[in-house]
Amino acid sequence: MPGLKPFTERLGDLSLFSGQFAWQVFKRPFEGRELIRQMDEIGTKSLVLVLVTGCAIGVVLSMQSRGTLARFGAEAVLPSMLALAVVKEIGPVITSLVLAGRLGAGIAAELGSMRVTEQIDALEVAALNPFRHLVVTRVLACIVMFPLLTVACNLVALGGGYLEALLSSELDYRLFVDQAFASLRLSDLIFSTAKTGVFGFIVAITGCNFGFKVRGGTREVGQAAMQAVVVSSLLVLVANVVLVRISLMLFG
């Protein structure tokens, strides 16, 4: 089948690249300074995007659901429905997809440009391990920051949902919070947030892989950025299916 071979080759390469990450992540010296810089870059520069996304999700979900729930006389379950939908699925997945767009492309383009302008070669020539400095730090930063950004997105989404509900039906915030959190189990909260660490790994390792392997010029850098977004988004969606299945097996 045309296109299948390059795709499987790419996946194989991505697997080897992930294996290299697993090998390098425990090696010294640790790039602590660069790791903190990357966490700051990812956190601060993505926060506004994530917050706006979260707010929009909460408001729209609340607007769309209330009418349907009202038809069945179930308007009172809106907070529970919002909390379950946002915290268990929509928050983690949408945050990860939005970040896949921003960070997947950004990482691939940055590393691709570094490859084209010989900055990666310069690291190697200076006896500095480019993989550890560029890849390990970015992947670890994404593994840490994705869950934190997801928590921020969830909170803002619930806040947005509450505001919309308040404007429409003057819902008391204590009632909203009580109902919202009563429906959530701790395992739901922990698992759905922790799985975004896996999504962070997928987005970062894909972006790094596509950027690191760029050969040629600016055209190839652009292609790498675009492909990184497509592949990492697809992998996040597939991983989500697998992780949801695992969570259902573990926690019911």
Partner 1 sequence: MTNPDPQDVVVINNLHKAFGRRRILRGINLRVRCGESVAIMGGSGTGKSVLLKHIVGLIEPDLGAIQVLGQRIDELSSLDLDAVRLRIGYLFQGGALFDSMTVADNMDFVLRRHTDLRKAERTDRIMEALDWVSLQATANQYPAQLSGGQKKRVALARAIILEPEILLCDEPTTGLDPVSVRTVSNLLVRLQRRNMSVITITHDLLCAEIAADRAVFLHEGKVLAQGTLSDMRTHPHPMLKEFFH
Mark 24-53 with x for binding to partner 1 (rule: CB under 8 A) and - for no binding: -----x------------------------
Nearer to partner 1, 118 or 172 (CB): 118
3-state SS assignment for residue 61: helix
Q: How far is the CB of 127 from partner 1 (least distance, A)?
A: 4
Backbone angles phi, psi at 126, to 5 degrees: -85, 15
How far apart are the C-alpha atoms of 165 and 200, rounded to whole Å?
A: 32
Quick check: bond before 29 cis, omega within 30? yes
Least distance (Å) between residue 185 CB and partner 1: 43
Instruction: Please identify, using beta-carbon distances, which residue of 125 and 248 lies nearer to partner 1.
Output: 125
Helix H, strand E, coil C: the string for 75-93 is HHHHHHHHHHHHHHHHHHH
Smallest gap from residue 228 Cβ to partner 1 (A): 19
CB 145 within 8 A of CB 39: yes
8 A C-beta contact, residue 111 and residue 212: yes
Task: Name which of residues 151 to 190 contact partner 1 (CB under 8 A).
Answer: none
Which of positions 105-144 make contact with partner 1 (CB under 8 A)?
113-114, 117-119, 121-122, 124-128
Strand, coil or helix: what is 53?
helix
Euclidean distance between CA atoms 142 and 151, whole angstroms: 14
Distances (CA, A) of 9 to 3, 6, 14, 16, 210: 10, 5, 9, 11, 13
CB of 45 vs partner 1, minimal distance in Å: 13
- Counting contacts by CB under 8 A, is residue 22 touching partner 1? no
Q: State the minimum distance, in angstroms, from the CB of residue 138 to partner 1.
A: 12
**Whose Cβ is closer to partner 1: residue 125's or residue 241's?**
125
* Closer by beta carbon to partner 1, 113 or else 168: 113
Q: Which is nearer to partner 1, 213 or 244 (CB)?
A: 213
Using CB under 8 A as the criterion, which residues of the chain lie in contact with partner 1 when the complex forms?
29, 113-114, 117-119, 121-122, 124-128
